[in-house]
Amino acid sequence: MERTLIIIKPDALQRGLVGEVTSRFEKKGLKLVANKMVKLSDEVLNEHYAHLADKPFFPGIKKFMMSAPVIIQVWEGAQCVETVRTLCGVTNARKAAAGTVRGDLAISMQSNIVHASDSKETAEKEVKRFFKKEELFKWDMMAEEYLYAEGEA
Ligand code: ADP
């Protein structure tokens, strides 16, 4: 089963949108298999955004990503990488389609709520960058015997 990594960025935390963003992936039918809160370091951001190192906005994006903790999650599901990118919308939140996370919740190119891995290869690298093996969970949908269990009097 395919996996992808998302980072709920500092703007989402500041604006109280962590639940809203997480909920969109849950409602889509994807499975949450890892979840943690961290303060990103300069070193890890140099690695994570290496493809942007020569851009004028590179120092700005790093400063923004370190301005508050972030939530990092791994989601699992069929064609998960593409599905999550579609749910997030394009980078520039102003141009992102209505109905997407960025299109509905942000108005900035930089502060665009969420990072999502852009390919299966990147996803594998990013999952390894942020999670140890034992932090990734295997679990099955709840069996009916638990779902309908009656509490003891
Ligand atoms: P994406 O996050 O959509 O995969 P990129 O990898 O190109 O996009 O960029 C990483 C992040 O850098 C973006 O999500 C955004 O926060 C920021 N960013 C990209 N382009 C700009 C820009 N021109 N000005 C400011 N920030 C930018």
> pLDDT by residue (tens digit) across 103-131?
999 999 999 999 999 999 999 999 999 99
> Which residues form the pocket of ligand 1, taking CB atoms under 6 Å from any ligand atom?
52, 57, 61, 91, 109-110, 112, 115, 118
What ranges do the domains of the chain cover?
A: 2-152
Q: Per-residue pLDDT for 149 more than 90?
A: no
34, 42, 56, 69 from 87: Cα distances, Å: 19, 28, 28, 23
Pair 94, 39: CB distance under 8 Å: no
Q: What is the residue with the minimal CA distance to atom 7 of ligand 1? A: 91
17, 29, 64, 113 from 14: Cα distances, Å: 8, 26, 12, 10
In the DSSP assignment, the letter for residue 142 is P
Q: Per-residue pLDDT for 147 more than 70?
A: no
Domain 2-152 has CATH 3.20.20.140: no
Pair 61, 49: CB distance under 8 Å: yes
Q: Per-residue pLDDT for 143 more than 80?
A: no
Q: Residue 108 Cα, ligand 1 centroid: separation in angstroms? A: 10
Among 64, 90, 110, 126, the mutation site with the greatest number of ligand 1 atoms within 8 A of its Cβ is: 110
Q: Residue 91 Cα, ligand 1 centroid: separation in angstroms? A: 6
**Residue 55: exposed, middle, or buried by beta-carbon count in 10 A (0-12, 13-18, 19+)?**
exposed
> pLDDT by residue (tens digit) across 39-76?
999 999 999 999 999 999 999 999 999 999 999 999 99
> pLDDT by residue (tens digit) across 74-94?
999 999 999 999 999 999 999
